Structures are given as structure tokens and as C-alpha cells.
Structure 1
Amino acid sequence: MANSKYSYVREFEQDSTLLNDCWIVVRVDGRAFSAFSNRHHFRKPNEPRALSVINSAAVQVMSEFDDIVLAYGHSDEYRYIEHLLYSFPVVFCLKETLNCIIDGNSMFDKFNTSIYTAVKILSCVVSLFTSSYCYYWSTFFPNTPLLSIPSFDARIVLYPTHRAVVDYFSWRHVDCHINNQYNTCFWCLILDGKSNDEAYNWLKGTTKVEKNEYLFTSHKLNYNNLPNIFKKGTTLVKSTTKAVNVDDENCLSYNTFDQLDNLSRREFSEGLGEDLVDKERKIWLEINPSELNELELKVKEKASEHNIFVLHCDIVKDSFWELVSPLISD
């Protein structure tokens, strides 16, 4: 279209170039997922198969784009960050903008762009995430066809400092815990015969201690013993310096993350309590550990092919960032 009478139309394009020397965080959220989860009969308060689909989609995004080295997600959210030391939303973090333009292996060089545009980043990440979600659906829901089309929205936030990005991920991590504790207590109340409104009213103003006490006194359910994937979400870390071998206990990188990731160390038996499950109403306050381990293995096998660690650990403490930093540094 260059040098033609029609070239003026390009003047209407908006400039979405991002600032240099800022950390780029891409957040991906499920759109209308309450209706989607109901139609596909997700278990409540957590559906581990759906979380596995989300995590597999996030791994696929990280494997395609070299600049994304850390991601965090819970519920229907994921967030990515590019080259930072170190619901579902999913969060992806990207390298600093200036570094990405210079870096010959940048994801954006693959698209032949000389400028760092928010529109291109968003479209690349959210489109691949959505298609990957559909692609991996049958892996974890082999007997449940997609009855509606899943969709996601995305946004970009720029953070000028390393501390701001760490605090952002810490905020999402804390939000995961708060939401999961609330939802677990809510569905426990529903299981005990309360209506939705009665459960909402009961939860108003309650403290963390009061929620935990209700779970234990009503069903002997210790919140602290719930799987970390529900309480702490999922953190994906791409190692740029060491190969990932999830079976080699002598591997330095494996031992490092073994200190953080203790998902398999559950403290309940294989048998599920009858008072914790209502199959008719799809309420499962406890999930069989063998199912969780089987799902986790599928996700980790895919992730290990791309030097990506799958963790369900505390990312608020400085010790996490100190351990992760050497694994993803250039």
C-alpha cells in the first residue's frame, strides 16, 4: 500500500508502543467462565481437571515465546512476566522492553516488528492461550466435549521496578488464598443445607480463623491440609541455565524447587469422607490425591520438555525469589 493514494488510512492507526525499561505483565482472564464452568459441570469449589487445562495452556504459551520466563495463575486467571529475576487469572511477565527489542531471540522479532506494541503482545499471548486451552481440553476431559467456546480477555500493565513486579505477583498469590478459603467455606455451608443468600450472609465479616474453625468443626476439614494447587495457585518458572529433570533427585535445580513444591505431601487418606462430597450437586470439598497426582504428572511432563518448572508454593517470601533468580537469569 506504500506510495498509493490509499496509504493515508494508516494515519488512523493508534500508537501502542510501550515504554522502555519497564517490566511488562500480561494478565489473561476467563470471560464468562461462571456460565462455562456450570455448563461443563465443574466440581466445586475447585475442578482440578480445569486447572490442568489452564496450566497446560500456560506452559504452551511459555514454550512458544522465549521472553516469557515466569507465570502465575489460579482459578481462571494467568499472568506472565518476561525475564524478571526471580486468576485462573494467569499472569505472564516479559523482559524489560528495551532488552526485548535488542534481544535477537525476542518473541517480537519473530513477528518482524521493530517496535514494542501492546496490541501485538496482547493478541499473540491471548490468542495462543485460547487455542491451547481448546487443544488440551480433551486431554483432561476425555469424556466431556466442549459444549461452548471458551474465550479470554487480556490486558498489559507496565511496572518500572523489580520490587513492584514482585509485589504484584505477591498480591495475586494472596488473592488466590483469600478466594479459595472463601469459596471452600461457602460450598461447605451449601453442603450443610444453607441457601446461597444464607451462606453469603454468614460469611460477611468473618475472619480467616472463623472460616477455618467452621470447616473443621462441621466436617473435620483442616484448611491447611488442602492441596497447594488450590491454596497457592500455580507458578511456572522457565529455567534458562539448567535442564529440568523432574525425576533426577541429584539435579541441583530439582533439589532447589523440591524445597518449595510439596504438593504430593498431602495429609489425608485415599478414601474420601462421605460428608465432604455431594456428587449430585457437584460439591467436592476433598479431591482424591491419586487424581491430583495423575493430572499433575501430565502437566509436568509437558513442562519439562521446555525446561519449565510447575510449582505450587509460597511466592510471597523473599526466599522464593532468591531461589528462582539464578535459574532464569541469562
Structure 2
Amino acid sequence: MANSQYEVVKQFERENYLLQDTHIVIRVDGRGFHRFTKNYDFSKPNDERALKLMNKAAHCVMESIPDTVLAYGDSDEYSFLLRKDTDLFERREAKLVSTFVSSFTSYYIFYWNDYFVDKKLNLDDGLPTFDGRAVLYPNIKRIRQYFSWRQVDCHINNLYNTTFWTLVIKGGLTPQDAENKLMGTFAKDKNEILFSEFGINYNNEPEIFKKGTVIVRESNEVENVSDALNRTSLEEQNTGAVDAPLSLRQKERRAKKRRKMKIQEHHADIIGDTFWHERSYLFE
């Protein structure tokens, strides 16, 4: 369409380039999943198959987009952290969000039959769809606060849902009666209901339910990976390229190191310091 009378329409296109030197988080969230999970009869309060399918889709996204260094997910959402200096799609917001959402959705649908052998996707019951957004954070402190917030939200929602569905399934209450009983209760109250009325110790619930899943690029020898990246950084400093754009060779060397890192899943505490201190290379 170049040099044609119709090329004028391109003037209406606008790109939003995300700010340089900031951490990008892309959050993918299930759209209309309350109805979707009901139509496909997901187990309550947690369907482990569905969570593992989400993890599989997120794992595949990380494999296909090497600039993703970490992802955290629970329920029907996943947050992906890109390296701070990524220039993927020239940091165009629309391209980043649409690529993550479409890739995640594609993998979710592709692997559905591996986890839901007896429940085929069909148009009548609806197909899984996701939306997404990009959020920028200025420093490591805010990044840690973000992922802590998501894990706290996972814990709060899971404790409520575990208690709610236990009252309905094992206690014989209607959903409305269960909701009324839990209204105004605190965490200790829910724990007491589970233990005193049903003999359930919430602390013994699977970690994947309580903590969600964090997927991270790492090695069995994490310190060696961090040291290698540090050496690359020192080499760049010695060449005076600290504040200058990386050369093609430097980018290739960093990308090669990232590709060597294993992508592993954990159901770990990401609110405390230990997880982050052991993986300081994520921010280098």
C-alpha cells in the first residue's frame, strides 16, 4: 500500500512505547472463567488439573519468549516479568500484551486434552479466553511488592474458597448459607471452622493451592549463573559500555546464558527474602 492514495490511513495508528529502564510485568487473566469452570465442571475448591494446565501454558510462554525471567500464577491468572532492559518488539505495549495473551491462550487450548481427558472443549460450553495488561515498575522493591501482593491474594482467596466449599460439599449448606456464615470472619475463624467442624488442618493443604506457582529461569548451581552474568557486566564496564546500548555480540552472549538456564516450577514463598536473595541474577 506504499505510496498509494490509501496510505493516509496509517497516520491514524498510534504506538505506546513502554518506558525504558523499567520492569515490565504482563498479567494474563481469565475472561469469564466463573462460567467457564462451571460449564466444564471444575472440581471445587481447586481443580489440580486446571492449575497444572495453567502452569504448562505459562511454562511454554517462557520457553518461547526468552526475555521472560519469571512468572507467577494461581487460579486463572499469570504474571510474567520481563528483564528490565528488554527491547522485545521495541517495547511496544500492544505487541507485548497481544503476544503474551495469544500465546498463553494457544498453549492452554493445545494442551487441554492432556489434562482434561474426558472433557473436550466445545462451542456450546464456551472456549477459554484471556485478557491482559502491561504494568511498569521502577525498581526491585516494587517488583517484589507486586509479586507478594499476588501471593497474598492467592492465600486469601484459597482459604476462603476452601472453607466455603467445605461448608457446601461436606457441611450440606447452601451457597448462600455458607456465604452468610463466612461474612465478617477472619483467617483464624476460617481455620477454626475447617479444623473443629471437619477435622481439616489448612496448613496441610497442597502448597500449589496455598502459594500458587512461581516459574523461574535458574540453574542447579544458581550462584554460577549469577557469577557468569556478573562477569559479563564487568566486561561491559571495562569496555565503557555501561550506559551505552549493548552490541549485537553482547546481546547474543547474554541470550546464550539465559537459554542455558533451566525453567523450573516452585510452590514457594516469594514474600520473604530467601527466594529473591538466592536469585539476585534475575535483576541483572
Same fold (TM over 0.5): yes
- Does the aligned pair in 2 maintain the 1:74–1:233 contact within 8 Å? yes
**C-alpha distance after superposition, 1:108-161 (max 9, x if no partner):** 3xxxxxx32100001111001001001111111122211331100001111111
Q: What is aligned with 1:317? A: 272
Separation (CA, whole Å) in 2 of partners of 1:40 and 1:324? 38
- Offset at 1:8? 1.2
> TM-score w.r.t. structure 1 length?
0.71
Task: Name 1:91's counterpart in structure 2.
Answer: none
- In structure 2, which of residues 170, 173, 194 is the aligned counterpart of residue 194 of structure 1? 173
Query: Are the equivalent residues in 1 in contact too, given 2:15–2:93 (CA < 8 A)?
Result: no
- After superposition, residues 58-97 of structure 1 pair within 5 angstroms as 58-81=58-81, 94-96=82-84
Matched residue, 1:129: 104
TM-score by length of 2: 0.82
> Which of residues 194, 209, 215 is equivalent to 1:236?
215
The 5 A counterparts of 1:1-330 are 1-81=1-81, 94-96=82-84, 99-101=85-87, 107-108=88-89, 115-147=90-122, 148-191=126-169, 192-239=171-218, 242=219, 251-253=220-222, 307-326=262-281, 328=282
Letter in 1 for 2:158: N
Which runs of 5 or more residues in structure 1 are unaligned? 82-93, 102-106, 109-114, 243-250, 255-304
How many correspondences in the alignment? 245
RMSD over aligned Cα, in angstroms? 1.8
Point out 4+ residue stretches in structure 1 off by more than 6 angstroms: none
Contact 1:63/1:306 (<8 A) preserved: no
Are the aligned partners of 2:213 and 2:267 in contact in 1 as well (CA < 8 Å)? yes
Matched-pair contact (CA < 8 Å) for 2:222–2:279: no
Deviation at 1:324, TM superposition (A): 2.0
Cα deviation, residue 37, structure 1: 0.8
Give the deviation of 1:253 after TM superposition.
4.7
Question: Partners in 1 of 2:222 and 2:15 — Cα distance?
Answer: 42
* Separation in 2, partners of 1:168, 1:47: 25
Query: Which structure has more helix as a fraction of its residues?
Result: 2
Residues 222 and 278, structure 2, Cα contact 8 Å, conserved in 1: no
1:15 offset after TM fit, Å?
A: 2.3
3-state SS of paired residue (1:193):
coil
1:242-267 CA distance string (max 9 Å, x none): 3xxxxxxxx4459xxxxxxxxxxxxx
Shift of residue 5 of structure 1? 1.9
Q: Secondary structure at the match of 2:5?
A: coil
